[in-house]
Amino acid sequence: MTTIPAWTPTPMLTLAPAHLRGPLMATPTVVAPSAPAQSGGIGGALIGTLLSATILAALIAAAVNITLARRKSREEERARLRDRFAQAYAAYAQYCEFAYAIRRRRPDDPSAERVRISEELRKIQADLSAHEAWVKLESGTVGTAYTELIGEMRKVAGGAMRQAWIDEPAISDAGVNIPPMTVDLSPLKPYETAYMDAVAAHLRALAPWWSK
């Protein structure tokens, strides 16, 4: 006798009517960003290094230009002062020369010679006063040395000039050659040296540190 297996109902898929069905929704796919390529990182670092080197080079160039400009300005200032101090000394030397010039004055026209020499001396006296005032304003130390030089000049060279006016002028070539015992300006040497040393010290103090 054949046994008939029990019937098991099969579940059925029930579809909703078409007008009730919603649209099918697609599930979004998330794509993870890929890691940057190693070559891109190296390139960025290289660019950064180049920019840093460029900026550093520009800063160094600017610093060098500023240093050179300051050095040039300082050297120009020292040259200007050197010339002014030399002009002050030149006025002193010109005054001293009149101790000889008065003895060599023309003997045939004494009145005219007195006027000519006195006028030249007046100009030099004015220059000496101007130089003395300027040197004092520029440097107290140099100004003191120059004032002492000018004061002693008036004593020594001025005294020789007064004596030259009293003595007869030279009337021969041999008389133009004035011996040291007639006009002795050697007492001025220490004052000249003191002035020169003061000027050198003042200019040395203005020199850039790398040139000392």
Going from the C-alpha of 186 to that of each of 1, 22, 48, 125, 161, the distances in angstroms are 167, 127, 74, 21, 15
Task: Decide if 53 contacts 167 (C-beta within 8 A).
Answer: no
Q: Which residue has the tokens 């579940």?
A: 11
pLDDT at position 13 is 46
Least confident of 22-31, 41-50, 170-179, 193-202: 22-31
Q: Which residue has the tokens 């050697």?
A: 186
Q: In angstroms, rounded to a whole number, what is the distance separating the alpha carbons of residues 146 and 185?
A: 17
Task: Decide if 174 contacts 104 (C-beta within 8 A).
Answer: no
Q: In angstroms, rounded to a whole number, what is the distance separating the alpha carbons of residues 30 and 32?
A: 6
Give the H or E element holding residue 105. none
pLDDT tens-digit series, residues 176-198: 889 989 999 999 999 999 999 99
pLDDT at position 63 is 62
Q: In angstroms, rounded to a whole number, what is the distance separating the alpha carbons of residues 129 and 126?
A: 5
**49, pLDDT greater than 50:** yes
What are the φ and ψ backbone dihedral angles of 2, each rounded to 5 degrees? Answer: -85, 135
**78, pLDDT greater than 60:** yes
**pTM, two decimal places:** 0.66
pLDDT at position 24 is 46
Nearest to 178 by CA among 167, 189, 187, 191: 167
pLDDT at position 166 is 95
Overall size of the chain counted in residues: 212
Secondary structure string (H, E, C) spanning 143-209? HHHHHHHHHHHHHHHHHHHHHHHHCCCCCCHHHHCCCCCCCCCHHHHHHHHHHHHHHHHHHHHHCCH
Q: What does the DSSP 8-state code read for residue 13?
A: -
pLDDT at position 175 is 83
Q: In angstroms, rounded to a whole number, what is the distance separating the alpha carbons of residues 149 and 142?
A: 10
**48, pLDDT greater than 90:** no
| CB within 8 Å of 99: residues ≥ 6 apart | 157, 160, 161, 164, 183, 185
Mean pLDDT of the chain: 80
